[in-house]
Amino acid sequence: MSRDWYWIRHGPTHAKSMVGWTDLPADLSDTQALARLSAALPQAPVVSSDLDRAVKTADAVQGTRPRQPHDPNLREMHFGAWEDLTHDEAEARDPKLVFQFWDQPGDTAPPGGESWNALAARVNDAVDRLDASLPPGPVIAVAHFGVILTQVQKVLGISSYAAFSHRIENLSLTHLHMGPSPEAVRINHLL
Break the chain into its structural domains and give their ranges: 3-12+24-77+114-189
- Report the CATH number of the 3-12+24-77+114-189 domain: 3.40.50.1240
3-state SS of the chain: helix, strand, coil percent to 5? 40, 15, 45
Mean pLDDT, residues 111-134: 97
Q: Flag whether pLDDT at 131 surpasses 80.
A: yes
Residue 1 pLDDT: 77
Residue 135 pLDDT: 94
Residue 154 pLDDT: 97
Give SS3 for 163.
helix
pTM, full prediction: 0.96
Instruction: Write out pLDDT tens, residues 152-171.
Output: 999 999 999 999 899 999 99
> Cα(145)–Cα(75) distance, rounded to whole angstroms?
10
> Cα(114)–Cα(60) distance, rounded to whole angstroms?
29
Instruction: Write out pLDDT tens, residues 89-107.
Output: 999 999 999 999 999 899 9
Instruction: Write out pLDDT tens, residues 42-86.
Output: 999 999 999 999 999 999 999 999 999 999 999 999 999 999 999
Residue 126 pLDDT: 98
